[in-house]
């Protein structure tokens, strides 16, 4: 009786499990051959990695105790495998080669016929053989039948292998598309996918189980990259990835979002403290130095934490919230974590709106200039004015420069805006020089650091002067210390060129920043504007008075003028005069005025 179940015999070393349907189909071919050839056993032996045997026939169980594949591997079939020439042997036991004959005897094999399984690219896939226990002359018809069955089996085998290969490639592609090649961590796409699932699950549940996102950014990665090299940078990222993996529980995910940004998805978090504990654990884990080829690199991270909540339903919002909190942590001094709170979101939205409005305002020229008188303390007369930009927002009315200058600075919008201010101030003053009381007045224009370092300020100033016909000696530029501290060489050169043009330069807000006195004599400056916070307290605080006095003397010794900002009382004015301060500005004289107000002010020629 032919056993209908055929057994798969592992003839090789631990081989990859073949697809079950492939086994079934080869067994079907084997059974067909058994029936058609009336052979007591049929064996299919695969070549290559699989090296598996499939078989059918009543004699098969007896051979399972031995190694039926031995027959195929014995050298008997090598010509079949190599050349695809069918082999027929009437009695293996009588083979002229002793080893083969004895193998035939030990396995009890008489008649033997083998054909090759050939893949669709002509490659050998295996051997398909029919076996009889007694001697048997195989007919040509039988050889043809076995060849036909083998061909059908081979084409199926080929097809399945191609499918399996395609699946493998697809799996690989999918893996690659979801992982970061450097650290092997899940990438941003994978993270967002998992985050989406977590959000969906959280929505479906109504228990109070939460999850959390930690958004991580290395604090000094750029420095490492620039100083120790990209290769070390890569190694550091890999080391960080491994340490982060050590910080999470099963079911959680660590992902590299890109660059030096990582994210953790923590499922099952009880409360904010729970998430905070993990953030602390991450920081501890990264505190130990990373040893990289002779260097010990210390790294720290800034972490933003966002917790799932009904207000934060969309995955991308959650990630952005964690990102915002991370920025908070960075700005708060790095190497720390911050929890997201909705106020941050509101602030970010306001800021975003401001940016959009500001862009439009630059295009539509929604700005005007206000002018604040600059008074000489020696004569008590106005000698000039400072141009202060005003934004007339279509819905919000006048917006303070303190609110939009920093944003304009960050976004680069300060460049076109600052250019407009410069040109407008020059144009206006040139016109006012013709009015009663306008003769000889100067205008001071504030220049922001970005204008100074990222544009050709000198060229721009020269063009504005030439186009408006304003005397360069009527223009003063106000810069802040940060420009000088950060780009000393560049600033020094620009200042020298401005001096050559005949334009004066004032150091603004002196005393609020670095207050470094060392550069004062190295740079061609004309005046120092003493910040109003010092002026405010001179009539009540002795030390403030002395401090301002010292600045005035020091500045005077260097041949510079001194401008007191924010003078609001007659007493302050008197004290400043006494100290030898040369100029003053402030509400005592006048707040910043719109052009028509300034024209009236000039005409009235007040005196203090
Ligand atoms: P700043 O350059 O120090 O300008 C002086 C600021 O102090 C002005 O505020 C002015 O209105 C205010 N002020 C004047 N006198 C007094 C006083 O007696 N008491 C008090 N409490 N304040 C007084 P404003 O116009 O709001 O400008 C604020 C800042 O915005 C300016 O500070 C300047 O840094 C910046 N800014 C204004 N216009 C421009 C500009 O065109 N370009 C650039 N880059 N920055 C500008
Ligand atoms: Ca100023
Ligand atoms: Ca100032």
Which of 46-50, 357-361, 535-539, 547-551 has the least mean pLDDT? 46-50
Q: State the pLDDT at residue 13.
A: 28
pLDDT digits (tens, 9 = 90+) for 253-282: 999 999 999 999 998 888 888 899 999 999
Q: What does the block give as tokens for 393?
A: 């927002």
How many percent of the chain have pLDDT more than 70?
Answer: 94
Which of 45-54, 162-171, 412-421 has the least mean pLDDT? 45-54
From the CA of 587, the nearest ligand is 1
- CA 100, CA 401: separation in Å to the nearest integer? 99
Q: State the pLDDT at residue 496.
A: 95
Identify the residue whose tokens are 């699989």.
Answer: 50
List, chain by chain if needed, residues with CB within 6 Å of any ligand 1 atom: 372, 388-389, 400-402, 405, 418, 421, 446, 448, 508-509, 532, 566, 568, 585-587, 592
Q: State the pLDDT at residue 12.
A: 29
Rounded to the nearest whole angstrom, what is the distance from the C-alpha of residue 97 to the centroid of ligand 1? 107
Which of 357-361, 480-484, 593-597 has the least mean pLDDT? 480-484
Q: State the pLDDT at residue 8.
A: 34
Mutate to test the pocket of ligand 1, among 374, 388, 448 (most ligand atoms within 8 A of CB): 388
pLDDT digits (tens, 9 = 90+) for 417-427: 999 999 999 99
Q: State the pLDDT at residue 192.
A: 96
Q: What does the block give as tokens for 319?
A: 């990630």
**Average pLDDT over every residue of 455-460:** 92
- CA 110, CA 607: separation in Å to the nearest integer? 131
Mutate to test the pocket of ligand 1, among 398, 408, 409, 446 (most ligand atoms within 8 A of CB): 446
Identify any residues that bridge with 417 across adjacent strands, giving them in sequence order.
none
The packing angle between helices 342-364 and 414-432, to 10°, is: 50
Residue among 84, 28, 75, 37 nearest 55 (CA): 28
Task: Answer whether residue 193 shows pLDDT above 80.
Answer: yes
Q: State the pLDDT at residue 484.
A: 82
**Average pLDDT over every residue of 98-125:** 90
Give 165: exposed, middle or buried? Use CB within 10 Å, 0-12, 13-18, 19+: exposed
Q: State the pLDDT at residue 515.
A: 65
Give 420: exposed, middle or buried? Use CB within 10 Å, 0-12, 13-18, 19+: middle
Task: Answer whether residue 557 shows pLDDT above 50.
Answer: yes
Task: Answer whether residue 353 shows pLDDT above 60.
Answer: yes
**Average pLDDT over every residue of 537-557:** 90
- Indicate the SS3 state at residue 267: strand
Task: Answer whether residue 322 shows pLDDT above 50.
Answer: yes
Structure-model confidence comparison of residues 455 and 578, the more confident one:
578
- CA 442, CA 323: separation in Å to the nearest integer? 47
Please state, in angstroms and as integers, the Cα–Cα distance from residue 110 to each residue in 94, 131, 216, following that order: 8, 7, 73
**Across all residues in the chain, what is the average pLDDT?**
88
Can you give the pTM of this predicted structure? 0.58
For residue 65, what pLDDT band results from cuts at 50, 70 and 90?
low
Please state, in angstroms and as integers, the Cα–Cα distance from residue 588 to each residue in 382, 386, 478, 546, following that order: 12, 15, 21, 22
Structure-model confidence comparison of residues 329 and 296, the more confident one:
329
How long, in residues, is the chain? 608
How many percent of the chain have pLDDT more than 90?
Answer: 57
Rounded to the nearest whole angstrom, what is the distance from the C-alpha of residue 530 to the centroid of ligand 3? 7
Rounded to the nearest whole angstrom, what is the distance from the C-alpha of residue 477 to the centroid of ligand 2? 9
């Amino acid at each position: 009786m032919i056993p209908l179940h055929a057994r798969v015999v592992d003839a090789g070393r631990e081989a990859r499990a073949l697809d079950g349907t492939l086994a079934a189909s080869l067994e079907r071919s084997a059974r067909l051959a058994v029936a058609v050839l009336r052979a007591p056993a049929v064996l299919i032996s695969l070549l290559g990695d699989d090296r598996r045997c499939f078989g059918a026939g009543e004699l098969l169980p007896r051979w399972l105790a031995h190694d039926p594949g031995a027959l195929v591997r014995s050298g008997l079939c090598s010509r079949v495998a190599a050349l695809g020439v069918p082999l027929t042997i009437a009695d293996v036991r009588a083979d002229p080669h002793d080893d083969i004959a004895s193998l035939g005897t030990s396995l009890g094999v008489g008649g033997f016929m083998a054909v090759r399984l050939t893949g669709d690219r002509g490659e050998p896939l295996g051997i398909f053989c029919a076996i009889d226990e007694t001697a048997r002359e195989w007919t040509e018809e039988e050889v043809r039948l076995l060849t036909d069955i083998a061909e059908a089996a081979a084409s199926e085998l080929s097809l399945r292998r191609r499918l399996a290969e395609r699946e493998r490639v697809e799996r690989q592609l999918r893996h690659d598309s979801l992982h970061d090649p450097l650290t092997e961590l899940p990438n941003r796409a994978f993270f967002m996918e998992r985050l989406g699932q977590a959000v969906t699950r959280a929505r479906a549940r109504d228990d109070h189980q939460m999850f959390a996102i930690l958004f991580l950014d290395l604090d000094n990665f750029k420095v490492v990259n620039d100083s120790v090299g990209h290769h070390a940078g890569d190694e550091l990222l890999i080391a960080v990835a491994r340490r982060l993996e050590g910080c999470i529980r099963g079911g959680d995910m660590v992902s590299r979002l890109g660059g030096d940004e990582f994210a953790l998805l923590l499922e099952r978090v009880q409360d904010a403290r729970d998430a905070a504990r993990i953030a602390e654990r991450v920081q501890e884990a990264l505190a130990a130095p990373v040893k990289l080829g002779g260097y010990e690199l210390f790294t720290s991270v800034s972490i933003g934490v966002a917790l799932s909540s009904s207000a934060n339903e969309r995955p991308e919002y959650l990630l952005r919230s964690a990102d915002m909190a991370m920025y908070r942590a960075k700005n708060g001094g790095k190497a720390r974590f911050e929890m997201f709170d909705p106020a941050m979101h509101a602030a970010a939205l306001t800021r975003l709106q401001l940016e959009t409005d500001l862009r439009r305002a630059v295009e539509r020229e929604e700005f005007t200039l206000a002018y604040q008188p600059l008074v000489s303390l020696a004569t008590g007369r106005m000698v000039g004015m400072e141009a202060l930009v005003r934004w007339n927002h279509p819905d919000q009315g006048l917006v303070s420069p303190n609110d939009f200058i920093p944003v304009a600075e960050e976004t680069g919008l300060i460049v076109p805006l600052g250019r407009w201010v410069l040109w407008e101030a020059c144009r206006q003053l040139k016109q006012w020089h013709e009015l009663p009381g306008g003769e000889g007045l100067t205008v001071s224009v504030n220049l922001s650091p970005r204008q100074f370092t990222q544009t050709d300020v000198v060229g721009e100033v020269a063009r504005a002067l030439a186009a408006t016909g304003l005397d360069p000696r009527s223009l003063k530029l106000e810069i802040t210390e940060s420009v000088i501290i950060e780009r000393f060489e560049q600033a020094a050169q620009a200042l020298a060129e401005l001096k050559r043009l005949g334009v004066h330069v004032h150091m603004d807000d002196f005393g609020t920043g670095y207050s470094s006195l060392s550069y004062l004599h190295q740079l061609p400056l004309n005046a120092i504007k003493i910040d109003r916070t010092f002026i405010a307290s001179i009539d009540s605080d002795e030390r403030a008075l002395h401090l301002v006095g010292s600045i005035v003397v020091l500045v005077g010794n260097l041949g510079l003028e001194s401008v007191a900002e924010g003078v609001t009382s007659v007493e302050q004015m008197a004290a400043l005069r006494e100290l030898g301060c040369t100029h003053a500005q402030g509400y005592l004289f006048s707040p910043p005025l719109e052009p028509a107000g300034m024209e009236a002010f000039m005409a009235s020629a007040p005196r203090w």
